[in-house]
Structure 1
Amino acid sequence: MIRMLLRVLGHEYAKPMRRTVAMMTATAILEGLLYALLVPVLQALFGSTPADAWPWLIAFGAGVVVYAVMRYVSDLSGMRVGTTMLRGMYHRLGDHLARLPIGWYTEARVGEVSMMASRGLLAALGVAAHLLAPFINALVTPLTIVVVMLVFNWQLGLAALIAAPVVALIQVWTARSMATTDAERHERDNEASARVIEYLQAQPVLRAGGRTGERFELLDDSLQEVERTSRRTVLSTLPGAVGLTLTVQAIFTALLVLGTYLALGGNIGVAEVLTILVLAARCADPLLSLSDIGGKLRGARSELDRLDTVLRTQPLPEPSDPVRPEGNDLEFDSVAFKHGDRVVMDGVSLSVPSGQRLAVVGPSGAGKSTLLQLVARFYDVDAGAVRVGGVDVRSIDTEVLMSQIAIVFQNVYLFDGTIEENVRLGRPDASDEEVRAAASAARLDEVVERLPGGWAADVGEGGALLSGGERQRVSIARALLKNAPIVLLDEVTSALDPVNEAAVHEGIERLMAGRTVVMVAHRMRTVQRADRVVFLDDGKVVEEGSHDELLRRGGRYADFWNIAMTPASSE
């Protein structure tokens, strides 16, 4: 458990954690030795000269003071390490997630990472701040007392020592029996969370269908599974808890019987037997607490395991000797790319000279958006190469590559904050005049003027307080402010109303001026503004040429164009 925690923490936080563990262990040993001082105290009190107990009582009192100080310092150290670790781990996890390939972020993983960043990291904090000290105390203090008992009387000490492997076996057995139910409980919790979100998102559909009064069967089933799994989890802990209690009680009874036998045989005095029983009783309390602490530690370990799995996921490799691109042209050289088992790109070769516009069209699932993502190195190709300025993107430093590229997606995500803060993400050090100029070019100033608060207006989480067209204008203003020489456009007007579409088109035209552009378009009218057109299908370049050339050929592109421009499908 501690080894796992140290691995998750990394080198920066492992050293203070080791110091904390060492301090907690020393404190637990001191506690066991303090109980050893009860032996001479009780011997003196039950002997012929009770006054002889005073020196031992003074030593015991001084030891308690030292123990109190050490306990305070070790607990405080655990809390400080936990809080420092939590802050540092947020940065470490965030930095690592930022370097993972975009393909890693499946829908299921996004929810899991969200829970991990909250519950998982808090579980790691809880281990250092709340669970580590009682866990070490429950293990080390009884062992110290048993060593004292061995020194005092080997028969009674050996009898007490028998409990150690039995307790260890019970803990291991309980942990193994809980592993399956813990994993199932985690899976059911995630499924139930997803169903709750689905139920909330499905409200418009349910209400439109007049089913608001009905129970949502999928949600009910998932919640019932959580209940059943929770019940199995509780039942699986009972044998271990009962077994631990019976073992501790049985050992204590054995010590009582053995002590009585030795006392009756004259091998040991009554005071010594009483002392041993007091020490044994003190061993029982921390041992019995292992059941509760063990359950909490198993839950924390499950979270740490998932956190460790994420941190071990290899990010896209950074070049050891990065090369800076000399120009702004783009090239796909026999690119092959798989997403899972599905072939998305199959031997794609094409080029975009600096300052020209390439339009990419084709049916859904043809690989159009993947083409853009490979340029931005959201993924690494399986074969071939993607080059920017004649340099393979894998040989370009990530920050340098992203500084060369401005991306406008169809689905725009805005961070919870003001409009100005979201625009400034394109270039945080831009002046107010540059921000206003970019907003004006994207016709975002029209939106700012009509919103209460103007530039300080809050966009809400994900930009929920703005319309789709307004979010798109913020995205274009952000790209304009970045002023990157390469622009990637992913179907930016496919879901806009005519008014917003006209405004966005005007902003896009200003964004594309003088830049190398790759645009994915569903609305075929935007294709006419491209220098060249590529028709993709099934991950392959089927046709390539200018808009007029492809129409004259009468091939796949011409068919696509004719279908898109018929009155039934035209905008």
Structure 2
Amino acid sequence: MMIQRRLFLLTEGIRMALVRRIAIGLAIGGCYIAQGLLTALLVADMFKTTIAWDQAVWLLAGIACMLAVRTYLVWRQEISAKKTAGIIKGALRQRLFGRLLELGPYHLQDERTGHIQSTLVDGVEGLEAYLTSYLPQIAITVFSSAVLLGIMATLSWPVALVLLAAILAALFGPRLWDCLLSSRGFNHWASYAKFQSQLLDSLQGMITLKAFNAGVRRGEELKRESQSLYRKTMKQLSISLMDSGIVGLATALGSAIAVGIGVFQVASGSLEIGSLLMILFLSAECFRPVGDLNKHWHAGFLGVSAAPGILELLDSRPYVRDEGTKKLAVAGNVVSVEVDHVTFAYSETSAPAALDVSFKIEPGETVALVGYSGSGKSTIVQLLDSVRFAYEPGASGRPALSDVSFRVDSGRKLALVGPSGAGKSTCLQLLMRFWDVTEGAVRIGGVDIRKLKLEELRELISIVPQDVYLFHASIRENIRLGKPEATDMEVEAAAAAACCHEFIEQLPDGYETNAGERAVQLSGGQRQRIALARAFLKDAPILLMDEATSNLDADNEHSVQQALARVAKGKTVIMIAHRLSTLRLMDEVLVLKDGKVADRGAKESLLQKEGFYLSMTQADAKT
């Protein structure tokens, strides 16, 4: 037997169901025992000189009754097992998914999607047999064996002792290999999860593999991973099957020796033939629960091997903790954004991406940030107060922000502009509180966002990311993600505002068309407009856009910019921009370079100065 306390704790909430399963299992065992005893009595009658047919008929009827009852109980046990398994798997997956949501991007950046999928799907599936079959079978085995050994002791204590020794050998003998079996089991699970990750990665990158004629090479990699999984599976089985061999050997020897002792006692006159027949029919029955226990153990071993990953995920503590209690009163979508001496770093000892950056946006002004690659424009987007941030706290590396400050008053529009890698998108993530700053504070409406509930904070913000993700659902449901209670009319109005109503209507099923896996059937511009519609529908007081028109052609870009002007009216807008056409709505441009504010001002005034913004304008004019 192998009981893991942590895994047993996962049965919380279904323990009464497990108790019912144990009760049914014991009743089934009782049927087997009664059937064995009745059969022994019937055979014993056959050895008598005069057969009592009336008694034989009743014995046969009793055996038939036990068979019928046992059949019903087995059916009920299977139904109960499936219901219990469904409950525990659903509850466990819900806990795991909830924990993943709590952990956020900080945890997921170091984990492969395929590995997480293996844990949530195959790992939990494997635990079903352990939690809903193996654990109840332990209790069934203990009680059934105790009853049977008690009966045997009344017939012949030497036989009972032999059977006890054989049962103990069958239960604990395989545990001699537990360390080796666990080691190989964990290696097998790691190889299985790696293969799953590689396979999922290959499926998601199929177009790229085809485009670069890399399909054969990738296939060879998958073949090597598959062969490695096969070898580790066989190594695990070589130890696992030894368990079955030990149980089988103990069962065979125990039964044979017990019957042999019984025969010897009958020959010596110390045991009656009827008692010998009971020993004959019940000795094998002593090992049936042990055999079932071994079967359930092997069925659930994949889950046991995956358990460390499951428990590690459940034990993980979120980098961003949802401990806020304050309420932020928002009247008429009036919300301010403030950044004051912010420091942000990908790791603790990084060089800052923004050093001593401070500015203020007066009411009625719109600001765009422009800067060189790595200058920290995206980072500035947050509401920060003397903030320092690192993606890997305690690690070495260059800070993404250091002592950066600025303020965006309610209803104002700020644009962050700069080359790729400047940390622009990171700023949006800080504002959404996917990460927590290392030093300083991020404020909305004058309140540190760490003091707000995460749900309340994110209700204040609509976001249009550069890398749009659409779910495998209808276009309507993808847009409605921004406002689940929205009516169909509201969804379509948001789509019209984002200039995507017409192309959606032309799809095979219109708004009910399924976006498909990763929405590959839609163009980048179409996906981006749907994301805009999603943000418009949410209608939050703060609007974040990460180059929201980057995948649009000139005509659609002009239409979307007009829609943005309508939707952004009265809202606090922060936009990351890479080209000048997206700055038309902005009141002011903030230029970042090497983590510092290189320049700041209205677009017209910046054109009069030598610097990045002028260079960007000249480069844009050439294209």
Quickly name the TM-score band, shorter chain normalised.
Answer: 0.7 to 0.9
How do 1:65-76 residues align onto structure 2 when only pairs under 5 Å count? Answer: 66-76=69-79
**Equivalent residue letter for 2:473:** G
Aligned residue number for residue 443 of structure 1: 499
- 1:328 aligned to 2:324? no
Structure with higher helix content: 1
Moved more, 434-443 or 401-410: 434-443
Matches of 1:210 and 1:452 in 2, distance apart? 33
**Equivalent residue letter for 1:195:** Q
Give the alignment partner of residue 480 of structure 1, picking from 536, 548, 555: 536
Q: Secondary structure at the match of 2:442?
A: strand
How do 1:279-358 residues align onto structure 2 when only pairs under 5 Å count? Answer: 279-315=282-318, 316-319=320-323, 321-326=325-330, 327-331=334-338, 332-340=384-392, 341=395, 343-358=399-414
- 1:245 aligned to 2:248? yes
Task: Please list the CA deviations of residues 63-103 of structure 1 after superposition, one character each: whole Å capped at 9, or x if unmatched.
Answer: 55554544443332222222344455554444444333232
Aligned residue number for residue 100 of structure 1: 103
Give the TM-score, by structure 2 length. Answer: 0.78
Aligned residue number for residue 474 of structure 2: 418
1:451–1:205 distance in 2 versus 1, CA, 3 Å? closer
**Equivalent residue letter for 2:390:** K
* Residues 426 and 479 in structure 1, CA contact (< 8 A), matched pair in contact too: yes
* Structure 1 unmatched runs, 5+: none
Give the TM-score, by structure 1 length. Answer: 0.85
1:382–1:143 distance in 2 versus 1, CA, 3 Å? farther
* Residues 591 and 599 in structure 2, CA contact (< 8 A), matched pair in contact too: yes
Q: Secondary structure at the match of 1:354?
A: coil
Deviation of the 1:2 alpha carbon: 8.1
1:451–1:146 distance in 2 versus 1, CA, 3 Å? same
Task: Please list the CA deviations of residues 177-228 of structure 1 after superposition, one character each: whole Å capped at 9, or x if unmatched.
Answer: 2222222222222322333344445555555555666674322322221222
**Equivalent residue letter for 2:577:** A
* Residues 418 and 457 in structure 1, CA contact (< 8 A), matched pair in contact too: yes
Task: Please list the CA deviations of residues 342-380 of structure 1 after superposition, one character each: whole Å capped at 9, or x if unmatched.
Answer: 554444443322112222345544432222112212233
Aligned residue number for residue 367 of structure 2: none
Deviation of the 1:387 alpha carbon: 1.7
- 1:119 aligned to 2:174? no
How many residue pairs were aligned? 566
Give the alignment partner of residue 387 of structure 1, picking from 418, 443, 459: 443
Matches of 2:621 and 2:272 in 1, distance apart? 102
* Identical-residue share of aligned pairs (%): 29
**Equivalent residue letter for 1:19:** R
* Residues 8 and 311 in structure 1, CA contact (< 8 A), matched pair in contact too: no
* Residues 368 and 536 in structure 1, CA contact (< 8 A), matched pair in contact too: no
Moved more, 115-124 or 392-401: 115-124
Moved more, 276-285 or 401-410: 276-285
- 1:179 aligned to 2:179? no
* Structure 2 unmatched runs, 5+: 339-383
Deviation of the 1:271 alpha carbon: 3.8
**Equivalent residue letter for 1:108:** E
Aligned residue number for residue 341 of structure 2: none
Matches of 1:537 and 1:233 in 2, distance apart? 56
Moved more, 48-57 or 281-290: 48-57
Give the alignment partner of residue 230 of structure 1, picking from 216, 233, 256: 233
Matches of 1:8 and 1:239 in 2, distance apart? 29
Deviation of the 1:408 alpha carbon: 0.5
* Residues 415 and 463 in structure 1, CA contact (< 8 A), matched pair in contact too: yes
**Equivalent residue letter for 1:368:** K
Give the superposed CA RMSD: 3.7
Matches of 2:574 and 2:250 in 1, distance apart? 72
1:82–1:195 distance in 2 versus 1, CA, 3 Å? closer
Deviation of the 1:382 alpha carbon: 3.7
- 1:519 aligned to 2:575? yes
Q: Secondary structure at the match of 1:426?
A: coil
Task: Please list the CA deviations of residues 461-495 of structure 1 after superposition, one character each: whole Å capped at 9, or x if unmatched.
Answer: 33222111111111111211211110111232344
Matches of 2:603 and 2:620 in 1, distance apart? 23
How do 1:420-569 residues align onto structure 2 when only pairs under 5 Å count? Answer: 420-523=476-579, 525-527=581-583, 529-534=585-590, 540-543=595-598, 545-547=600-602, 551=606, 559-567=611-619
Task: Please list the CA deviations of residues 22-76 of structure 1 after superposition, one character each: whole Å capped at 9, or x if unmatched.
Answer: 4434543554465455565555655677649657666666555554544443332
Matches of 1:70 and 1:453 in 2, distance apart? 50
Matches of 1:319 and 1:211 in 2, distance apart? 48
Give the alignment partner of residue 258 of structure 1, picking from 258, 261, 278: 261
Matches of 1:261 and 1:79 in 2, distance apart? 47
Deviation of the 1:407 alpha carbon: 0.6
1:24–1:382 distance in 2 versus 1, CA, 3 Å? farther
Matches of 2:207 and 2:317 in 1, distance apart? 41
1:66–1:288 distance in 2 versus 1, CA, 3 Å? closer
Matches of 1:467 and 1:112 in 2, distance apart? 29
Matches of 1:385 and 1:241 in 2, distance apart? 61
1:397–1:227 distance in 2 versus 1, CA, 3 Å? same
Q: Secondary structure at the match of 1:466?
A: coil
Matches of 2:278 and 2:490 in 1, distance apart? 82
Matches of 1:115 and 1:301 in 2, distance apart? 13
Matches of 2:155 and 2:261 in 1, distance apart? 15
Give the alignment partner of residue 396 of structure 1, picking from 452, 458, 471: 452
How do 1:48-67 residues align onto structure 2 when only pairs under 5 Å count? Answer: 51=52, 66-67=69-70
* Residues 167 and 287 in structure 2, CA contact (< 8 A), matched pair in contact too: no
Deviation of the 1:276 alpha carbon: 1.5
* Residues 32 and 141 in structure 1, CA contact (< 8 A), matched pair in contact too: no
Matches of 1:24 and 1:338 in 2, distance apart? 56
**Equivalent residue letter for 1:24:** G
Q: Secondary structure at the match of 2:390?
A: strand
**Equivalent residue letter for 1:231:** M
* Residues 473 and 514 in structure 2, CA contact (< 8 A), matched pair in contact too: yes
Matches of 1:117 and 1:45 in 2, distance apart? 58
* Residues 470 and 500 in structure 1, CA contact (< 8 A), matched pair in contact too: no
Aligned residue number for residue 17 of structure 1: 18
How do 1:345-384 residues align onto structure 2 when only pairs under 5 Å count? Answer: 345-362=401-418, 364-384=420-440
1:264–1:430 distance in 2 versus 1, CA, 3 Å? closer
- 1:28 aligned to 2:29? yes
Matches of 1:223 and 1:239 in 2, distance apart? 24
Q: Secondary structure at the match of 1:108?
A: coil
